[in-house]
Amino acid sequence: MTSRMGRRVFVIGVGMHAFGNQGIPATDMGYVAGVAALDDAGVDFPEVGALYNGYIGGGITAGVHLAKDLGLTGIPVTHVENASATGSSAFGEAVHAVAGGRVDVAMALGFDDMNRMGGLGRSGRRGLGAEDVMLPAAFFAMWATRRMHEVGSSVETFAAIAAKNWNHARENPMAQRRADHEVTVEEVLASTMISYPHTSKMACAAGGGGAAAIVASEDVARRLGGPMIEVVASQQRSETYTDGHVFLGAVIGPAQMTRDTAGDAYEQAGVGPRDLDLVQVHDAFPIEELVYYELLGICGDGEGDKLVVTGETSLGGRIPFSTDGGLTARGHPGGPTGLAQIHETVLQLRGAAGHRQVEGARTGLCHMAGAGSVCVVHILQRA
Amino acid sequence: MLPTDPHLFRLPAEGEDRPRLLGSYAPESDLHFWPRRKRCPVTRTPVQDVELGPKGTLYAWTFLHVPRMGKVSFGDTGGYAVGQVDLPEGVRVQAPLMGSQQDWSIGDEMALTLFPVGTDDDGHELVTFRFEVVR
């Protein structure tokens, strides 16, 4: 089940277009991100051997049209779509293209605008069917009410996670939500109720954006002479059967999928949760970040709430999560989201994250879940 | 009266007071599934068509304050509820709930019921299913 990499792979360049509701076409934001990543890597587009475009909206040919602006070099251009995990999967394909020897340099490029997309695939007629009520907001809210019942988690804990991520984004110029003041738990709780117990300030920011990453073989990375940031794990899973398996209306597969994918990644990287310096997760709602503390092995089952109270997952804490604001505040356009996590982690491992820098960061984990049943985990390490 | 999703549930037959969910049973794995499967996803062995429900236990719930299901509202509560209900066959069903959040608690017994959501092009009333608390 675990994916293997035939040779070492390094991230040589990252780039982004700021996330937000700016009215800019998604492909234009993708172009900006792609050129920024090329500039960051110090390579020209003809050196890229394969391009993996991650987008959910935009139509069937958006990726190859965008490639025409980057350069008509004749390389394979492939559209990758895996719902929220689209950018992470595109990155994984680029990593494996280099790891498997297909090419020496590959680019993953994500672009999207969440406000211009349709919903999940549905059956039923006229939007009246049973699947039409199963919004992501409802699905994750049910994780939350069950957690409150089983573990005694409070709405204040959910609000504290969201406030933390809003405040992390204050230091991120690429973030969609940049508050001009310290966001408080009370402010998050007082925002509009969307799906009990989640309020609007707990829900991820939907907007547009672009993000890109370029990976290369060890030979290329050493020739370029930049910081050596290695992809030490690249894993992706779909669901396996679990007790209480929900087939219809489950926005993502069972939570166990995250534990299994992370286990694969730790094994491949030869590291454990205690070796991590920072983590990015699919925090579309704060209940997710809370349960991922446990599913990623950062703490024991039922102990995640304590990490929030003690500030261990905040910048300056033992193991900061969502250092760029996460989906909550950096934003979640769709295709670029997972690549924004790579962008953030690479900046952190280079020591170039400015005011949100995690001191001495050497190893970072990126986790994304996608609708249907997708989980992607990457571990990056400064060599 | 017609079901919105005839592959998911059927209307109450004569003498029945509640609808039934249309599921599958895999003898090899002794597992039930809903909705129907083409084969057992665990053992890849054949499945049989079965009917499930109509009662179970509430596992999780939420109450949404955003509009959905076209223009249909679920009563005058300003939103609608969705829950996960565990059936005795071992199947967890995610579906709308009747009422507002003061009306139930996790662990309550729930039962399937019908809810009208509009009409089709020929004027037939369309109904979907949801769960209500059994008192």
Question: A24-76: per-residue pLDDT in tens?
Answer: 999 999 999 999 999 999 999 999 999 999 999 988 899 999 999 999 999 99
Let me know if B117 is exposed, middle or buried by CB neighbors in 10 A (0-12, 13-18, 19+). buried
Parallel, antiparallel, or unpaired for β B20-26 and B48-52?
Answer: antiparallel
Spatial CA neighbour of A328 closest among A193, A161, A174: A161
Parallel, antiparallel, or unpaired for β A105-113 and A50-54?
Answer: parallel
Cβ pair A195:B83 closer than 8 A:
no
Residue % of chain A over a pLDDT of 90: 88
Spatial CA neighbour of A336 closest among A32, A19, A111, A115: A111
The tokens for A238 are: 């779909």
Distance from CA of A142 to the nearest CA of B (A): 5
Residue % of chain B over a pLDDT of 70: 91
* Average pLDDT in chain B: 90
B77 touches chain A (CB under 8 A): no
pLDDT tens digits, one per residue of B83-92? 999 999 999 9
Spatial CA neighbour of A144 closest among A155, A132, A131: A155
Cβ pair B128:A246 closer than 8 A:
no
Spatial CA neighbour of A80 closest among A97, A93, A61, A67: A93
The tokens for A84 are: 């929220």
Q: Is the pLDDT of residue B79 over 90?
A: no
What pLDDT is stored for residue A134 in this prediction?
60
Task: Say if residues A49 and A106 touch (Cβ distance below 8 Å).
Answer: yes
pLDDT tens digits, one per residue of B3-58? 999 999 999 999 999 999 999 999 999 999 999 999 999 999 999 999 998 999 99
Cβ pair B65:A244 closer than 8 A:
no
End-to-end CA distance of chain A: 27
A175-204 residues touching B, CB cutoff 8 A: 192-197
Can you tell me the distance from the alpha carbon of A262 to that of A240, in angstroms, rounded to the nearest whole number?
15
pLDDT tens digits, one per residue of A226-284? 999 999 999 999 999 999 999 988 788 899 999 999 999 999 999 999 999 999 999 99
A130 touches chain B (CB under 8 A): yes
B80 touches chain A (CB under 8 A): yes
What pLDDT is stored for residue A323 in this prediction?
98
Q: What is the DSSP letter of A130?
A: G
Can you tell me the distance from the alpha carbon of B4 to that of B117, in angstroms, rounded to the nearest whole number?
8
Q: Is the peptide bond before B67 cis (omega within 30 degrees of 0)?
A: no
Cβ pair A196:B82 closer than 8 A:
no
H/E run at residue B64: strand B55-64
Q: Is the pLDDT of residue A120 over 80?
A: no
Cβ pair B64:A137 closer than 8 A:
yes
Q: Is the pLDDT of residue A121 over 70?
A: no
Q: Is the pLDDT of residue A119 over 60?
A: no
pLDDT tens digits, one per residue of A313-363? 999 999 999 999 999 999 999 999 999 999 999 999 999 999 999 999 999
Look at A99-103, A194-198, A246-250 and tell me which has the smallest mean pLDDT: A246-250
Q: Is the pLDDT of residue A1 over 70?
A: no
B73 touches chain A (CB under 8 A): no
SS3 state at A203: coil
B5 touches chain A (CB under 8 A): yes
Can you tell me the distance from the alpha carbon of B94 to that of B62, in angstroms, rounded to the nearest whole number?
11
Q: Is the pLDDT of residue A212 over 70?
A: yes
pLDDT tens digits, one per residue of A143-187? 999 999 999 999 999 999 999 999 999 999 999 999 999 999 999
What pLDDT is stored for residue A55 in this prediction?
96
Cβ pair B94:A128 closer than 8 A:
no
What pLDDT is stored for residue A278 in this prediction?
98
Can you tell me the distance from the alpha carbon of A380 to that of A229, in angstroms, rounded to the nearest whole number?
7
**Taking CA atoms, what residue in B is nearest to A197?**
B62
B8: nearest CB among A130, A132, A250: A130
Task: Say if residues A350 and A213 touch (Cβ distance below 8 Å).
Answer: no
**Taking CA atoms, what residue in A is nearest to B66?**
A194
B16-35 residues touching A, CB cutoff 8 A: 31, 33-35
Band of the pLDDT at B117, cuts 50, 70, 90?
confident
Cβ pair B120:A125 closer than 8 A:
yes
**Rounded to whole angstroms, what are the CA distances from A49 to A52, A75, A81, A210?**
10, 6, 20, 21
In A120-224, DSSP assigns E strands to 193-195, 198-199, 208-217
End-to-end CA distance of chain B: 27
The tokens for A381 are: 């390490």
pLDDT tens digits, one per residue of A10-27? 999 999 999 999 899 999
